[in-house]
Structure 1
Amino acid sequence: VKLGTLKGKVVWITGASSGIGESLAYRLAADGCRLVLSARREERLQQIKQTIIDGGYSTQEDILIVPIDLLQFNSHPSTVQRVLQHFEKIDILVNNAGRSQRSLIEKCPMEVDREVLEINTLSPISLTKAVLPHFIERKAGHVVYTSSVAGKIGSPGLGSYACSKHAMQGWLDSLRIEMYTHNIHVTSVCPGPVFSEALVHAFTDSADQSLGVIMDPSERRMTSERCASLIAVAIANRLDEVWVSPHPELLYLYLFQYFPSIAKRLVQKKKIVDRSKLSLNMYLAYAVFLVYII
Structure 2
Amino acid sequence: MDWVSLFGTILCILCISVFIVMCIGDSDVLTALYCYIGIQPVHAFRDKVIWITGGSSGIGEAIAKELAKCNSAKIVLSARRKEELLRVKSECLGKNNLDVLISNAGRSQRAAWPQTELAVDKDLFELNVFSLLNLNRIVVRHFLEVGRGGQLAIMSSIAAKMGVYHSGSYSGSKFALHGYFNSLRNETYTDNIDVTLICPGPVFSPILRNAFTSKLGQVVDQEYTSGDRRMTADRCAYLSLIAIGNRLEETWVALSPIVLFTYLAAYQPYLFSKLSRFVHSNGLYFRARGAKDR
- Aligned twin of 1:239: 248
Deviation at 1:283, TM superposition (A): 9.3
1:130 aligns with 2:170: no
- Structure-2 separation of matches of 1:122 and 1:273: 35
Greater RCO, 1 or 2 (C-alpha within 8 Å, sep 6+): 2
Partners of 2:105 and 2:188 in 1: how far apart? 23
User: In structure 2, do the counterparts of structure 1 residues 280 and 118 end up closer, same or farther at CA, with 3 Å as the change threshold?
Assistant: farther
Aligned to 1:112: 120
1:158–1:282 CA contact under 8 A, matched in 2: no
Q: Is the 8 A contact 1:98 1:120 kept in 2?
A: yes
Q: Distance in 2 between matches of 1:265 and 1:135?
A: 44
Counterpart Cα distance in 2 of 1:156 and 1:45: 32
Mapped to 2, the partners of 1:201 and 1:283 lie a distance apart of 16
Q: 8 Å contact 1:249–1:283 — kept in the other structure?
A: no
Cα 1:58–1:220, aligned 2, differ >3 Å: closer, same or farther? same
SS in 1 for 2:67: helix
Name the structure 2 match of 1:291: none
CA distance in 1, matches of 2:175, 2:75: 28
Equivalent of 1:52 in 89, 92, 97: 92
Verify the 8 A CA contact 2:52 2:102 in the aligned structure 1: no
Structure 1 residues 283 and 233, CA, compared in 2 at 3 Å: closer, same or farther? farther
The question of 1:215 aligning with 2:224 is answered yes
1:31 aligns to what? 70
* Larger radius of gyration between Structure 1 and Structure 2: 2
The one of 83, 89, 92 equivalent to 1:43 is 83
In the superposition, the TM-score normalised over structure 2's length comes to 0.80
Q: Which amino acid aligns with 2:79?
A: A
Gaps of 5+ in 2: 1-37
Task: State the shift of 1:274 in Å.
Answer: 7.8
Q: Normalising by structure 1, what TM-score?
A: 0.80
Verify the 8 A CA contact 2:52 2:77 in the aligned structure 1: yes
**1:279-294 maps to which residues of 2 (within 5 A)?**
281=287
The Cα shift of 1:130 comes to: 1.2
What pairs up with 1:81-160 in 2 under 5 angstroms? 96-138=104-146, 139-160=148-169
Could you tell me which residue of structure 1 aligns to residue 56 of structure 2? Answer: 17
Q: How far is the alpha carbon of 1:200 from its aligned partner?
A: 1.5
In 2, the alpha carbon distance for the partners of 1:283 and 1:179 equals 42
- Paired with 2:281 and 2:237, the residues of 1 have a C-alpha distance of 32
* Map of 1:6 onto structure 2: 45
1:175 counterpart letter in structure 2: L
Deviation at 1:106, TM superposition (A): 0.5
Equivalences, count = 249
- Report % sequence identity: 41
Alpha-carbon RMSD? 2.0
Partners of 1:282 and 1:65 in 2: how far apart? Answer: 28
Whether the 8 Å contact between 1:156 and 1:282 is mirrored in structure 2 is no
1:197 aligns with 2:206: yes
Letter in 2 for 1:275: G
Query: 1:162 and 1:137, CA in 2 relative to 1: closer, same or farther beyond 3 A?
Result: same
Aligned-residue offset at 1:280: 7.6
The residue that corresponds to 2:100 in the other structure is: 63
